[in-house]
Structure 1
Amino acid sequence: MNRLVIVSNRVANLRKTTQTGGLAVGLADALKQRGGVWFGWSGKIAA
């Protein structure tokens, strides 16, 4: 079994349904079809 692993400096909001295009949408679709994980960082730091 192959798994897709994405590591990025961007975190997509996969719960929104209003997204229509772009790299994040394409990658999210690939994750849904093949399964995998997306590691990302939003840039926020918790204190």
Structure 2
Amino acid sequence: VGRHCRLTKAIIDRGCEIPDGLVVGEDAAADAARFERTENGIVLVTKQMLGKL
């Protein structure tokens, strides 16, 4: 996990390298656009999704 990251209600796939400053779980619209998000606000982050950032 990089510096200054904030991960809230997130499931991070094995082997992911979270880049510096990434914020997950605080902005529903941004999370839904970049990652998979459930109705309950749980966010799934995979290597493939991170590769598209």
- Normalising by structure 1, report the TM-score: 0.26
- Normalising by structure 2, report the TM-score: 0.25
